[in-house]
Amino acid sequence: MTYEVIAIGASWGGLQAVGTLLEGIPKEVDQAIVVAQHRSAESSRGVLESLLQLHIERPVCEPGDKEPIEACHVYVAPADYHLLVDGGRFALSIEAHVQFARPSIDVLFESVAEAYRDRAIGIVLTGANEDGAAGLAAIKRNGGVGIVQEPKTATKKAMPEAALAAAQADAVLPLEGIGPFLYGLCCV
Amino acid sequence: MALPVERSEELELEQLEVELLLEGIHRRYGLDFREYAPASLKRRLRRRMDGEKVETVSALQNLILHDPAVMERLLLDLSVNVTAMFRDPSFYLAFREKVVPALRTYPFSRLWVAGCSTGEEVYSLAILLAEEGLSDRVRIYATDINQAVIDVARLGVFRLDKMQEYTHNYIRAGGSRSFSEYYVARYDGARFAGSLVDGVVFAQHNLASDAAFNEFHVITCRNVMIYFAQSLQEHVHRLFYESLAMFGVLALGQKETIRLSPHESSFEELNAEERLYKKVR
The CATH number for A44's domain is 3.40.50.180
Options A30, A38, A55, A118, the catalytic residue: A38
**So what's the pLDDT on residue B143?**
97
Cα B85 from Cα A129, distance rounded (Å): 28
Q: Which residues in chain B are contacts of A65 at CB distance < 8 A?
A: 225-226, 253, 255-257
Series of mean pLDDT values for 10-residue runs along chain B (281 residues) = 74 95 96 94 95 97 97 90 91 97 97 96 97 96 95 95 96 95 94 94 95 97 95 95 97 92 92 96 92
**So what's the pLDDT on residue B5?**
73
H or E, element range at A117: none
Q: What is the pTM of this model?
A: 0.94
Q: Please indicate whether, in this complex, the C-beta atoms of B39 and A115 are within 8 angstroms of each other.
A: yes
**So what's the pLDDT on residue B68?**
97
Asked if residue A21 lies in contact with residue A56, where contact means CB atoms within 8 angstroms, the answer is no
Options A73, A82, A106, A131, the catalytic residue: A131
**So what's the pLDDT on residue B83?**
86
**So what's the pLDDT on residue B2?**
59
- Using CA atoms, how far residue B70 sits from A175, B32, B64, B145, in Å, is 47, 16, 5, 16
**So what's the pLDDT on residue A87?**
86
Cα B162 from Cα B164, distance rounded (Å): 6
Cα B202 from Cα B199, distance rounded (Å): 9
**So what's the pLDDT on residue B4?**
66
Q: How many domains does chain A have?
A: 1
Contacts of B27 (CB under 8 A, 6+ apart): none
Asked if residue A182 lies in contact with residue A25, where contact means CB atoms within 8 angstroms, the answer is yes
CB pairs under 8 A between A and B: 85
**So what's the pLDDT on residue B1?**
52
Q: Which of B89, B252, B15, B81 is nearest to A82 (CA)?
A: B81
Q: Which of A70, A78, A81 is nearest to A5 (CA)?
A: A70
> Tens of pLDDT along A80-101?
999 999 989 999 999 989 988 9
Q: Which residues of B62-75 are buried (b: 16+ CB within 10 A; e: fewer)?
A: ebbbeeeebbebbb
Q: Which residues in chain A are contacts of B223 at CB distance < 8 A?
A: 92, 94
Confidence of residue A1 (pLDDT cuts 50, 70, 90): low
ipTM: 0.91
For A134, the 3-state DSSP assignment is helix
Contacts of B124 (CB under 8 A, 6+ apart): B85, B86, B87, B92, B170, B173
Q: Which residues in chain B are contacts of A115 at CB distance < 8 A?
A: 39
Concerning whether A106 is annotated as a catalytic residue, the answer is no
Asked if residue B263 lies in contact with residue B238, where contact means CB atoms within 8 angstroms, the answer is yes
Partners of residue B202 on adjacent β-strands: B142
**So what's the pLDDT on residue A135?**
98
Domain coordinates in residue numbering, chain B:
5-79, 89-279
Fold of the domain spanning B89-279: Rossmann fold (3.40.50)
Q: How many other C-beta atoms lie within 10 A of the C-beta of residue B21?
A: 20
Helical spans, DSSP H, in chain A: 14-23, 47-53, 105-116, 133-141, 158-166, 175-187
Cα A3 from Cα A123, distance rounded (Å): 14
Using the predicted structure, report yes or no on whether residue A67 has a pLDDT greater than 60: yes
Could you give phi then psi for residue A44, rounded to 5 degrees?
A: -65, 140
- Using CA atoms, how far residue B46 sits from A106, A145, B55, B184, in Å, is 14, 24, 9, 37
Q: Is the dihedral of CA A130, A132, A136, A138 positive or negative?
A: positive
Partners of residue A74 on adjacent β-strands: A33, A60
Asked if residue B227 lies in contact with residue A64, where contact means CB atoms within 8 angstroms, the answer is no
**So what's the pLDDT on residue A80?**
93
Using the predicted structure, report yes or no on whether residue A133 has a pLDDT greater than 70: yes
Mean pLDDT of chain A: 95
The proportion of chain A whose per-residue pLDDT surpasses 90, expressed as a percent, equals 87
Concerning whether A40 is annotated as a catalytic residue, the answer is no
Q: How many other C-beta atoms lie within 10 A of the C-beta of residue B8?
A: 15
Concerning whether A131 is annotated as a catalytic residue, the answer is yes
Q: How many other C-beta atoms lie within 10 A of the C-beta of residue B2?
A: 9
For B178, the 3-state DSSP assignment is coil
Asked if residue B142 lies in contact with residue B202, where contact means CB atoms within 8 angstroms, the answer is yes
B7 closest CB neighbour out of A66, A91, A141: A141
Confidence of residue A61 (pLDDT cuts 50, 70, 90): very high
User: A92 at the B interface (CB within 8 A)?
Assistant: yes
- For residue B270, with 0-12 CB atoms within 10 Å meaning exposed, 13-18 middle and 19 or more buried, which class applies? buried
